[in-house]
Chain A
């Protein structure tokens, strides 16, 4: 399989089994160069396993991956000079200071001494760690730890960054900062593959793959994902939202009903025409005053549509047809 400049990562049929468990099942990937590519999925969906296969830490049971034009399985040592990897758990040395950690990473990548100094200062200021150089990494806050880890992962100017749930232990404002840093990196041409289980982070990605129990159930830009799901999304606003919820619960065409505060979002299969009318009629029947609109699916709708409805869809369709 030949990779060109267009894609930083290309994978075909990537599969990994642990005994009887299939952690990653026949995943195909095309990660464009210089973009942020997201893996969205719940815990245990195979995100970490896929990332580990892509950086050569795990050998695929079958299938193959070409990363930066190199075979992730065979050329993993050559690959290591070119990729930066950030583990899910903080994996720098907690008993070393911020500067000592960066220095260690710099030495391990054999960055020449003179260049190393400048690079460290640059990273410390970019990731706002200046003034904390002498602090032990173990005493940093969650956000600071993540910034330090990202600084370490980018020390050797990798072309590709693989980030495994980098923000799972970080508060929202720090998460936003972290993502700003990621965008800065892509502006310099770095490709980033990031896994997350946060919906708001997923929409920030240029491209997105949704994983569910080891299977890639959808991929594309957040916009195209919304256009391509198999359902229409109807939003309901009502004063008595509980009653509306109850009234819509029995409507056979509705395959998913999610409550969001004072609103409801219902999903109906695409082949059903006039979905808004069906919902409005059901509410009127129950004597509930409500505002009903057809809306563009947000990331949560997409996620529900491609994961939860994946298995129930055939049964539901049958029910609708009869």
Chain B
């Protein structure tokens, strides 16, 4: 009973302080909105309109046909025609184009005899995504004039696109963004929570009261769970309105997954708070954790493509598990019960982080 009163005391105080801290209050609403708009519009793996130039040394009917076909794909925009391959390379070096199309003067003969590649694509391969897209161009069928009689070859494999038939990146980005935003704000908020009290001298008073360490930790966590849920609602609602990302699964499943994920992040934040000496250090540590979360969790790159070591690290990060959960529920209509191992992983992370935080926190100054 007394324990509950004390936990409520900490919670109440925390909420009061929060309501007076305009910057933090703004961050609660501002960060999800800004990130959602920024990532939702900017991240687009569905690459179009790569700048390109071409050399047409053949200048035949067939080559002009090919150029027109390439332009029609909208994958490349052929901005200019240059005189020779050398100029094409120069443009590539200068970064003016991402793709160069070189058509040799014996293009027609090569197409007919089919003994050598008929043309070359010069691609800026530094960005693998561009390289991949450009390679896709190689699959374009070369249409002969009608009398040749050769049909474009039938494709061996047909790809059926589940869950995202329109191939929109936002569908993938919005649910994962819930996890990214929660990682950033939740870890940061609790990361500075105890350090701030230490810096302002409040902690010396607090540890002289009968408040127990666990009570202090719980009192600090609970208000932020509510805040995390508010952020969740903002992202999914705005994602639905602006990017038309539907929630295929049940809202309760989303809530359940989010609750356990938020707890994991808050526990980590508290652990950071017991290690960091200043708020600045807490922020640095948060960032140190945030970056691999974004890069390795499957938010940016598919998990399967990463080397084993990176996958191992990713399995430790809560965001990896949450990404699987939230994408499953929101996009595929899956149920949490189908992905229990992710729930267990998040629960284990929470338990370990919270235990370490309680153990590390001392009600003494020495």
Contacts and interface: CB of A to CB of B under 8 A. Distances in A.
B208 to A, nearest CB: 4
Interface residues of A, number: 29
Given A80-B209, A110-B210, A90 B201 contact: yes
A76 B365 CA distance: 13
Given A57-B208, A59-B364, A107 B9 contact: yes
A100 interface: yes
B202 A93 contact: yes
A240 B208 CA distance: 55
A55 B208 contact: yes
Interface of A: 52, 55-59, 76-77, 80-81, 83, 85, 87, 89-96, 100, 104-105, 107-110, 152
Given A93-B202, A100-B16, A58 B364 contact: yes
B200 A87 contact: no
Given A104-B9, A105-B209, A95 B17 contact: yes
A152 B209 CA distance: 11
Q: Is chain B's binding surface mostly helix, strand, loop or mixed? A: helix
Contact of A109 (B12, B16, B209): B209
Interface of B: 1-2, 5-6, 8-10, 12-13, 16-17, 20-21, 200-211, 363-366
Given A94-B200, A96-B17, A107 B12 contact: yes
B364 A87 contact: no
Contacts of A107: 5-6, 8-9, 12
B211 A108 contact: yes
B231 to A, nearest CB: 23
A87 B201 contact: yes
| Top 7 closest pairs, chain A to chain B, by CB | A107-B9, A91-B205, A110-B2, A91-B201, A85-B208, A89-B201, A108-B209
B210 A95 contact: no
A80 to B, nearest CB: 5
A85 B205 contact: yes
Contacts of A108: 6, 9-10, 206, 209-211
Nearest to A55: B208
Given A104-B9, A107-B12, A110-B210, A91 B20 contact: no
